[in-house]
Amino acid sequence: MSDRVNFGSKLGIVLATAGSAVGLGNVWRFPYMTGQNGGAAFIIIYLGCILFLGVPGMVSEFIVGRHSQSNTARAYASFSSNKGWGAIGILGIITSTIILGFYAVVAGWCLYYLGESVVGNLKGDPAFVQSYFQAFSSDPVKPAALGVTFILITHFIIVRGVRDGIERASKLMMPTLFILLLVIVGASCMLPEAEKGLEFLFKPDISKVNGDVFLSALGQSFYSMSIAMGCICTYASYFSKSTNLPNSAMQIGVIDFFVALLAGLLIFPAAFSVGVNPDSGPSLIFITLPNVFQNAFGDPTLGYIVSVLFYILLSMAALTSLISLHEVSTAFLQEEIGTTRKRAAIGVTVACMVIGVICSLSMGAWSNVKLFGMTIFDTFDFVTGQLFLPLVGFLTCIFLGWFVPHKIVKDEFTNMGTLRNGTLFHFYLLLVKYVCPICILFIFLHQFGLI
């Protein structure tokens, strides 16, 4: 596998991996979870989860990926004579393909809202914005077509390859995303009564903290760092041998955390300034915010600009994550079937389009088709997010902590002893052997009501 491509630079590695991590999870999921779980107290716990569970989880996937220099399925199998471990990788590939399908649908909504805010259609009272979203998301054609559009954009970046496609797109989009974020945060924080939002974000209310808050923070930290679906492992297979794995994971964890925090700084001051409750759940981005943007900024032009910039930001964040999800299965097909990158990508794109269209229809025309009592969209979300994600995360920790020879893990962690981070390695091993698997087990048992 020595002719395998690599990322071209350290910056490329960090931006591409941060591109995978920074996504709808940061800008959409994190703010409403913070709203529902008590603001600052949740954020502090979340930061702890990122540092002590997310970062070691990411390092573990880095180690598997870089050591094997191959797609996720082969990567896990390459460490041990028991090829059964390859099943973890296969599970990651299945999960990422399904997620790609429905993530693209939500990304398509962002694209639609971008178009609608550009032409100025998102104006009206709260009831109008709500019925607007319901009518759109249950439409049989528009959301499916936009989801497919997003998958096609992803496809064309993927076929250009790791350096010219993934790395270049990330180097372009990630800095743009940071700038947009800072501009909108600035506008939002200058609104009258913005300080109420800041207080909510920065003043911890310990009385809100309970077991659920911990578990939500933990689940969100894994989701947000793209752990347990093969994305991180696949990207790491393109890292060079001199990449400092723990440092890179830490940098990405910090970037991911700050983007989420900035998304909170964007949404809460604006929401509080117009007196809207920020705990409105998943509809926050598509129902609450269009209203907030309209009303918060006295000048309609400013409201218009902020709204357009915000949906550009969301669409770009979604795109860099979609690219990483696509790469998992593309690398797998390309290497295992021995076909060209282009053909492999076409296979993945077609599969994801089918899944995406099914998910999209299940929000409207097929909403009465139920699997295990849920719509197809919700079933996919549940099976991947609540079942496969913790399972793969748990197995990865057990695999690295208990089955892979410690020498291999240490050599990767310390770059064959050249990094002099041996003490940190022992701490990492402790987290991966005991702390991470036990915490994941807790989330798992808790969500099935067993504890």
Residues that bind ligand TRP (CB under 6 A): 20-21, 23-26, 223-224, 226, 228-229, 231, 321, 324-325
Among 158, 165, 168, smallest CA distance to 345 is for: 158
The residue to which tokens 């573990």 are assigned? 60
User: In this complex, which beta carbon is closest to ligand TRP, that of residue 42 or of residue 425?
Assistant: 42
- How many other C-beta atoms can be found within 10 angstroms of the C-beta atom of residue 118? 14
Asked whether the beta carbons of 273 and 194 are under 8 A apart, the reply is: yes
User: In this complex, which beta carbon is closest to ligand TRP, that of residue 194 or of residue 249?
Assistant: 249
Q: How far is the CB of 27 from ligand TRP (least distance, A)?
A: 8
Asked whether the beta carbons of 101 and 380 are under 8 A apart, the reply is: yes
- All residues at 6 or more sequence positions from 187 whose CB lies less than 8 Å from its CB, including other chains: 297, 302, 306
Q: How far is the CB of 412 from ligand TRP (least distance, A)?
A: 21
- Residue 377 class from Cβ within 10 Å (0-12 exposed, 13-18 middle, 19+ buried)? buried
Q: How far is the CB of 167 from ligand TRP (least distance, A)?
A: 17
The Cα–Cα gap between 9 and 12 comes to: 5
Residue environment code for 281-300, b if the CB has 16+ CB neighbours within 10 A, otherwise e: eeebbbbbbbbbbbbbbeee
Q: How far is the CB of 99 from ligand TRP (least distance, A)?
A: 6
The Cα–Cα gap between 56 and 49 comes to: 10
Q: How far is the CB of 186 from ligand TRP (least distance, A)?
A: 23
Q: How far is the CB of 419 from ligand TRP (least distance, A)?
A: 27
Helices (H), 40-85: 40-49, 55-68, 72-77
The residue to which tokens 């099943």 are assigned? 87
Is the CA virtual torsion 166, 86, 352, 30 positive or negative?
negative
- Residue 415 class from Cβ within 10 Å (0-12 exposed, 13-18 middle, 19+ buried)? middle
Asked whether the beta carbons of 297 and 303 are under 8 A apart, the reply is: yes
User: In this complex, which beta carbon is closest to ligand TRP, that of residue 307 or of residue 321?
Assistant: 321
User: In this complex, which beta carbon is closest to ligand TRP, that of residue 58 or of residue 187?
Assistant: 58
User: In this complex, which beta carbon is closest to ligand TRP, that of residue 223 or of residue 310?
Assistant: 223
User: In this complex, which beta carbon is closest to ligand TRP, that of residue 329 or of residue 421?
Assistant: 329
User: In this complex, which beta carbon is closest to ligand TRP, that of residue 114 or of residue 129?
Assistant: 114
Q: How far is the CB of 109 from ligand TRP (least distance, A)?
A: 14
Q: How far is the CB of 177 from ligand TRP (least distance, A)?
A: 12
Q: How far is the CB of 187 from ligand TRP (least distance, A)?
A: 23
User: In this complex, which beta carbon is closest to ligand TRP, that of residue 110 or of residue 187?
Assistant: 110
User: In this complex, which beta carbon is closest to ligand TRP, that of residue 229 or of residue 397?
Assistant: 229
Which residue type, as a one-letter code, is found at position 172?
Answer: L
